[in-house]
Chain A
Amino acid sequence: MIRFLLLFTAFFAAQTAFASDNFLGVPRFKGVKPVFNSNYESSCGECHFAYFPGLLPGRSWKKLMDPKALEDHFGENAELEEPDRLEVLNFLVRNAADQSHYKRSVKIARSLRDGSTPLRITEVPYIKRKHSEIPAKMIKGNKKVRSLSNCLKCHTQAKEKGIFDEDTVSIPGYREWDD
């Protein structure tokens, strides 16, 4: 019994040493890479959370950041000056999910291996599946959340750290909910 306990302690200790690197060659950076770009923040963050580039693959960002597409950005005109657009696009593509070694980004990219190009993060299969068991009243019907696209309403450590883990989630009005 004691031998086993020792073995497991050693096992856990060893894991902590590798935790920030990788485990058996599998990328083990937690969450999504928390990258920031001042131009992206000012150009896009004015209207909505400047979603981390690692939440969509590069091909999605390219399609979204197309000059024509920006003229009708989910019903809004989001046109940018060409130098700004190029800088933001470059920043997004360089850090996109399919370029990332962060766990959530790797999974987002894996869930899009069929080659589809979602324009909404909420349409990424991995993200859809992870949220599929949350009752509608807690998101859509929740006045303090409204939509799955308002990540920061519930993901309390997303903005600064890019962490989306379940234990960091707090749904407004349903703080006690745990499933």
Chain B
Amino acid sequence: MAHPQVVWSLFVRIFHWSLVILFVLAYITSSSGDDDWHMILGYAVTVLLVARILYGLFSSGYGRFSRFIYSPKVIWSHAKGIVQGKPAHYEGHSPMGAAMVFALIGCLLTLVFAGLIYQSWGEYEGPLWWLGFMPADGFAHEMWDLHKWLPDILIGLIVLHVLGVLLACVQHRENLVRAMVTGKKCSGE
């Protein structure tokens, strides 16, 4: 096995674990009555997502989006390999892992967008309200509903993500959870 090398930059690791913490706290405060905290946590998630997108567009390294955009064909054959027990190894995001990254980021972006729309319409506060943007009733209601059910989809995706990571840990005999803490992965098996 080759020497461990840093695959996940400090930014990627901080992004990942802060997102975990912020999402959990936002989920808890959504039903505990801490509305003000829920909004602050939502802003924090928004800032994280924007930072991650900028990083994905302009950084180099494994965190750059263009390094883990795979064609559906590659994703499919990677999935087949996993099922057959002989998955191809990737240093950065694997095709299935990458698909999950984009699914999670996409859902989270939609979620914070819906939250900001509802906040302006129903709470008369927040950045959109301050900017004078008042959404139409119908659209606001749709976003309000979306903001209520999308978190459950996200939790489903998170469960799949964790299961996928655990499976990859077993199949490749590498500790991917530790890799997201230390940044180091043993590549070149």
Contacts and interface: CB of A to CB of B under 8 A. Distances in A.
User: Do these two chains interact?
Assistant: yes
Interface of A: 1, 4-5, 8, 15, 23, 26, 28, 107, 110-111, 126, 129-130, 132-133, 165-168, 178-179
B26 to A, nearest CB: 12
Interface of B: 17-18, 21, 25, 31-33, 35-37, 121-125, 129, 141, 144, 148, 181
A4 B18 contact: yes
Interface of B is mostly: helix
A128 to B, nearest CB: 10
Contacts of B33: 165-168
A127 B32 CA distance: 21
Contacts of A8: 21, 25
A1 B181 contact: yes
A126 B124 contact: yes
A132 B123 contact: no
B181 A107 contact: no
A156 B46 CA distance: 34
Given A111-B124, A178-B31, A133 B36 contact: no
A179 B36 CA distance: 18
Given A111-B124, A126-B124, A179-B148, A5 B21 contact: yes
Given A23-B36, A165-B33, A129 B25 contact: no
Nearest to A125: B124
Contact of B141 (A15, A132, A166): A132
Contact of A107 (B17, B36, B125, B144): B125
26 contacts: A1-B17, A1-B181, A4-B17, A4-B21, A5-B21, A8-B21, A26-B125, A28-B36, A107-B124, A107-B125, A110-B124, A110-B125, A111-B124, A129-B121, A130-B122, A132-B141, A133-B141, A133-B144, A165-B33, A165-B35, A166-B33, A166-B35, A167-B31, A167-B33, A168-B33, A178-B31
Contacts of A107: 123-125
Given A107-B124, A111-B124, A167-B32, A15 B37 contact: yes
B21 to A, nearest CB: 6
Contacts of A179: 148
Nearest to A167: B33
A19 to B, nearest CB: 9
Contacts of B121: 129
B12 to A, nearest CB: 14
A107 B125 CA distance: 8
8 closest cross-chain pairs (CB), A and B: A167-B33, A110-B124, A107-B124, A165-B33, A129-B122, A111-B124, A1-B17, A4-B21
Contacts of A15: 37
Contacts of B35: 165-166
Nearest to A112: B124
Nearest to B148: A179
Contacts of A26: 125
A15 B21 CA distance: 18
Given A4-B18, A110-B124, 20 more contacts: A1-B17, A1-B181, A5-B21, A28-B36, A107-B123, A107-B124, A111-B124, A126-B122, A126-B124, A129-B121, A129-B122, A130-B122, A133-B144, A165-B33, A166-B33, A167-B32, A167-B33, A168-B33, A178-B31, A179-B148
A69 B185 CA distance: 77
